[in-house]
Amino acid sequence: MNTIVDAQGSGSSGGSGSHSLPRQAERGVGREEATSYLTAGHGVKSWLFTTDHKRIAILYALTITVFFFIGGAAATLIRMELFTPAGDLVSAEGYNKLFTLHGVIMVWFFLVPAIPATLGNFLLPLMLGARDLAFPRLNLMSWWLIVIAGAFVLYVLVMGGVDTGWTFYAPYSTTYSNGYVVAAAAGIFVSGFSTIATGLNFIVTTHTMRAPGMHWFRVPLFVWSIYATALIMLLATPVLAMALLLIMIERLLGVGIFDPALGGDPVLFEHLFWFYSHPAVYIMILPGMGVVTEIVTCFARRRIFGYQFMVYALLSIAVVGFFVWGHHMFVAGQSMYAGLVFSFLSYVIAVPSAIKVFNWTATLYRGSIVLDAPMLYALGFIGLFTMGGLTGLFVASLPIDVHVHDTYFVVAHFHYVMVGGMVSAFFGGLHFWWPKITGRLYPEAWARFAALLMFFGFNMTFFPQFILGWMGMPRRYHEYPSEFQVYHVLSSAGAVVLGAAYLLPLGYFLWSLRYGQPASDNPWDAKGLEWRTASPPPKHNFPSTPRVDEEAYDYHPPRRPPGGHLDHPSDGRPAS
Amino acid sequence: MSDPQALAEQFDDLGQQRHAAELGMWIFLATEALFFGGLLLGYAVYRHLYPEAWFAAARETEILIGTANTAILLTSSLTMWLAVRAGEEGRRDAVTLALGLTATLGAFFLGLKAYEYYLDWDNSLVPGLRFAFEKADPEHAEIFYYLYFFLTGVHAVHLTVAITAVLVVLFLVRTGRLAYQQSATLTVLGLYWHLVDVVWIFLYPLIYLPGRSQ
Ligand code: HEM
Ligand SMILES: [Cu+2]
């Protein structure tokens, strides 16, 4: 059997078809060979100016947690307002500001950095067997940029908000809005540079710093997903940056590049915006797919089904994602023929997405499945992402979209993908790698409960919105006819459950930092280089550069799944 | 022969480090292409929508200054290339000389550009602040000038960054603090400089040449 040889010389012990994963520290706890990254360096400065990718990941995690709660507070107010048909809690304008703030923060300050900048930052060098990212100082700069960008947004929040929606459509944003459009756009502009720097770092690292023996088709799919995400970050973000810069200057100087009253073309802005923002939705889902792949293989004790197909699916989603932006503009006055082409291409992009879902399912087949918390989140992801993706096909179909555009159907669709999909994956990944990151085990029973609660709360919040949208409830209104109320009440009640499910992990994660059982190097008995070093890892990750001489996800000999049955009973050839 | 100072701790050897630095710069150039690409799309749309105003407006640009600047920037790419060559051969004085020339040419460009902006101000061609145009529909001509300032402005920002970087590297090379022969610094700097040059090669015909044949 192949092994990964590293400095500790520990062979792999997987592939035995064990039905329960050893979660206890097998090897001596408190190993003292190298100080962990957490204790190498003390004081605030050693954190704020660190160039260690693992510490930067922690900085990012804390930052986006803050933003998640601000964005969540806005969502709470939205759902409270919508509890009753009358607009009684906030004014129409206040409501506009709430959903704008919610969207801006959740998209650019939570979801875009969520997995790449936290788990990605932490794991990419570990998974590749590298000591750090290629450009550690650039990495630190990325974090500082998002902090500065966040300061702009907090300024907007304190000063009284912005009401354009996260889409900043012209000419409302350039001419008529009374909000702090320029400051908000400036914040997003700056955050864009943070994103670009991160993406550049990831791509160069993946290309140049893989450990000996880790050729391209041995790279874990999480790394591939981050790679594909980084491609999108690099090629889409600049266009958004320029579009927002044009908005800012138009607003400041009153020159009409987008305002039709001044000779400009507002649809041009929509094109530029969605040329970024559609690919950006894949920034907000591909990393989740990567996380789920790591979890599903580990908790099914199974090789991934169709590794190469998974890679090509990721890359083709990244590429085709650049050619479907027009599906946001079916009713924006774009030509009918353009509509047809964009609709067709949107169907095309569903193919690689479906391939991924099928391959995860096929991976589960004949696996020995363990339903620990990360796996519950991952399975939740698969289900909710499938719902989100399928309803994506509804809205990609021209006649249906004319009916449901700008209704709650769309709101439900993108929340199934972004919240049901990506946020579930993020939580799954947090649980999965928590022992590696912190060196502690979290309380499993609580975590399973939270995972189930999140799935339940999520569906209760957002499923009624499909019905609402289908019945014709438009989005972005703070009052509505009373026949919609029952669904809104359901949705708001679900949001309470969902909120509780988000707070629970915060509680027990913090608890585990102090009282959790110390974790062994590889508590899940998982594959991948990150499990071949200490938990938490030392400053430079590995005592010496690891060598790779096995395929990714080598959980069992090829074609011999756990349990001893052949994958293809007729195929009796010895495994190569 | 590897100079220990030149190797950052995350890399195994200088070859890997060089590769990373050069790849990083190429990728950065790709994002730059999209920065300008979005703007050029805007240019294409409005030129297509308002050809008359476009040509009339473009005829009022300072073609002499634009042409002179093109020549200056192209020459600076030559001197930049010479600096990279000299770096590979380890000729420190030649590197400093070539970098000095490059920065000077860049500064010339910026000086002329500033003068051109001053003339535009004089001719009331600054959108939003001081704009008057009689030769065609002023609103649409204003869009041309808006894009003109935006594109050349963003380009000038890039050039300023490039000049600063050249001066810093020049200083480090002169004082012997940079292992310029082993590291990729000069190559990467050169790539960036050439990008700034190439962008201008696109801007020149788009800004100064439309409508000149009529
Ligand atoms: C965690 C990640 C989340 C992300 C990335 C996210 C993203 C978004 C985005 C982009 C919009 C569109 C805003 C607009 O069109 O202006 C939106 C709207 C909305 N979100 Fe979320 N959201 C998240 C979580 C939540 C949660 C947890 C709730 C409820 C508890 C929620 C409730 C809403 C509602 C009700 C709207 C519709 C506002 C309206 O158009 O009237 N969101 N969200
Ligand atoms: Cu889209």
| C-alpha of residue A348 to centroid of ligand 2, in Å | 13
Average pLDDT, chain B: 93
Does residue B159 belong to any structural domain of this protein?
yes
> Which one of the ligands is nearest to A499 CA?
1
Q: Which atom of ligand 1 is nearest to the CA of A76?
A: 30
pLDDT for res A452: 98
In whole angstroms, give the CA distance from residue A95 to residue B175: 60
Does residue B212 belong to any structural domain of this protein?
no
Establish whether this prediction's ipTM goes over 0.90: yes
pLDDT digits 0-9 by tens, A128-147: 999 999 999 999 999 999 99
Does residue B122 belong to any structural domain of this protein?
yes
The CATH number given to whatever domain includes residue B98 is 1.20.120.80
Residue type, A51: T
A441 min Cα distance to partner chain B (Å): 30
Residue B131 sits at φ, ψ, to 5 deg, of: -135, 125
Residues of A in Cβ contact (< 8 Å) with B153: none
Pocket test for ligand 1, best of A66, A69, A106 (most atoms within 8 A of CB): A106
pLDDT for res A352: 96
B105 min Cα distance to partner chain A (Å): 28
Among the residues of A365-482, which ranges form H helices? Answer: 373-396, 398-404, 408-415, 424-438, 444-471
Does residue B187 belong to any structural domain of this protein?
yes
Average pLDDT, chain A: 91
Residue A114 CB less than 6 A away from ligand 1? no
| C-alpha of residue A405 to centroid of ligand 2, in Å | 12
Residue A27 pLDDT level (bands cut at 50, 70, 90):
very low
Residue A99 CB less than 6 A away from ligand 1? yes
Does residue B99 belong to any structural domain of this protein?
yes
Residue A570 pLDDT level (bands cut at 50, 70, 90):
very low
- Residue A564: pLDDT above 90? no
Residue A57 pLDDT level (bands cut at 50, 70, 90):
very high
* Best of A245, A255, A259, A539 to mutate (most B CBs within 10 Å, chain B): A255
pLDDT for res A565: 56
Residue B137 sits at φ, ψ, to 5 deg, of: -50, 110
For residues A437-463, average pLDDT? 97
Q: Which atom of ligand 1 is nearest to the CA of A95?
A: 41
For residues A160-178, average pLDDT? 92
pLDDT for res A538: 94
| C-alpha of residue A393 to centroid of ligand 2, in Å | 11
Contacts of A295 (CB under 8 A, 6+ apart): A374, A375, A377, A378, A428, A429, A432
Residues of A in Cβ contact (< 8 Å) with B38: 238-239, 242-243, 272, 275
A200 min Cα distance to partner chain B (Å): 7
Pocket test for ligand 1, best of A284, A415, A455, A502 (most atoms within 8 A of CB): A415
- Residue A30: pLDDT above 70? no
pLDDT for res B129: 86
Q: A171: cis peptide before it, omega within 30°? A: yes
Does residue A308 belong to any structural domain of this protein?
yes
For residues A193-209, average pLDDT? 97
Q: Residue A129, exposed/middle/buried by CB under 10 A (0-12, 13-18, 19+)?
A: buried
In whole angstroms, give the CA distance from residue A167 to residue A188: 11
| C-alpha of residue A75 to centroid of ligand 1, in Å | 6
The size of the A-B interface in CB pairs under 8 A is 105
Residue A532 CB less than 6 A away from ligand 1? no
What are the beta bridge partners of residue A5? A547
Closest Cα in chain A to B30: A235
Contact in structure between A187 and B22 (CB atoms under 8 Å): no
Pocket test for ligand 1, best of A164, A419, A422 (most atoms within 8 A of CB): A419
Residue A13 pLDDT level (bands cut at 50, 70, 90):
very low
In whole angstroms, give the CA distance from residue B119 to residue B106: 20
In whole angstroms, give the CA distance from residue A383 to residue B187: 49
Residue A55 CB less than 6 A away from ligand 1? no
The H helix count followed by the E strand count for chain A is 18, 0
Cβ contact (<8 Å) for A272 and B10?
Answer: no
The CATH number given to whatever domain includes residue A335 is 1.20.210.10
Among the residues of chain B, which ranges form H helices? Answer: 14-49, 51-59, 63-88, 92-122, 138-174, 185-208
In whole angstroms, give the CA distance from residue B140 to residue A340: 31
pLDDT for res A138: 97
Q: Which atom of ligand 1 is nearest to the CA of A476?
A: 41
pTM for the whole thing?
A: 0.90
pLDDT for res A31: 42
- Residue A239: pLDDT above 80? yes
In whole angstroms, give the CA distance from residue A378 to residue A311: 19
Query: Considering only A395-404, A521-530, A552-561, which range has the smallest mean pLDDT?
Result: A552-561
Does residue B108 belong to any structural domain of this protein?
yes
Closest Cα in chain B to A540: B10
Q: Which of B19, B31, B147 sits opposite A238 (nearest CB)?
A: B31
In whole angstroms, give the CA distance from residue B53 to residue B60: 11
> Which one of the ligands is nearest to A502 CA?
1
B64: contact with A, CB 8 A cutoff: no
Cβ contact (<8 Å) for A272 and B42?
Answer: yes
Tell me which residue range forms the domain holding B145.
14-207
Cβ contact (<8 Å) for A263 and B139?
Answer: yes
Give the single-character DSSP code of B125. E
Residue A404 CB less than 6 A away from ligand 1? no
Contact in structure between A575 and A557 (CB atoms under 8 Å): yes
* Best of B144, B146, B155, B192 to mutate (most A CBs within 10 Å, chain A): B146
> What is the torsional sign of CA B153, A273, A189, A141?
negative
Does residue A10 belong to any structural domain of this protein?
no
The percentage of chain A sitting over the pLDDT mark of 70, rounded to a whole number, equals 92
CB atoms within 10 A of CB A265: 19
pLDDT digits 0-9 by tens, B89-144: 999 999 999 999 999 999 999 999 999 999 999 999 998 888 888 888 888 999 99
Residues of A in Cβ contact (< 8 Å) with B27: 200, 203-204, 234
Query: Considering only A11-20, A107-116, A462-471, A478-487, which range has the smallest mean pLDDT?
Result: A11-20
- Residue A576: pLDDT above 60? no
Our count of domains for chain B comes to 1
Put simply, the chain B residues between 142 and 161 with a CB less than 8 A from any chain A CB are 142-143, 146-147, 150
Residue A475 CB less than 6 A away from ligand 1? yes
| C-alpha of residue A15 to centroid of ligand 2, in Å | 41
Q: Which atom of ligand 1 is nearest to the CA of A165?
A: 16
Does residue A252 belong to any structural domain of this protein?
no
- Residue B4: pLDDT above 50? no
Q: Assign A538 to helix, strand or coil.
A: strand
Give the single-character DSSP code of A117. I
Residue A422 CB less than 6 A away from ligand 1? no
Residue A563 pLDDT level (bands cut at 50, 70, 90):
low
Cβ contact (<8 Å) for A256 and B142?
Answer: yes
pLDDT for res A74: 96
- Residue A7: pLDDT above 80? no
Does residue A176 belong to any structural domain of this protein?
no
Does residue A107 belong to any structural domain of this protein?
yes
Nearest CA to ligand 1 atom 12: A103
Q: Assign A327 to helix, strand or coil.
A: helix
- Residue B39: pLDDT above 90? yes
Residue A500 CB less than 6 A away from ligand 1? no
Residue B5 pLDDT level (bands cut at 50, 70, 90):
low
> Which one of the ligands is nearest to A114 CA?
1
Our count of domains for chain A comes to 1
Residues of B in Cβ contact (< 8 Å) with A133: 10
The percentage of chain B sitting over the pLDDT mark of 90, rounded to a whole number, equals 80
Residues in the 5 Å CB sphere of ion ligand 2: A 278
Residue A567 pLDDT level (bands cut at 50, 70, 90):
low
Specify the higher pLDDT residue, A476 or B9. A476
For residues A18-33, average pLDDT? 40
Residue A42 pLDDT level (bands cut at 50, 70, 90):
confident
Residue A256 pLDDT level (bands cut at 50, 70, 90):
confident
Does residue B75 belong to any structural domain of this protein?
yes
Tell me which residue range forms the domain holding A297.
53-133+276-532
Q: Assign A5 to helix, strand or coil.
A: strand
- Residue B183: pLDDT above 90? no
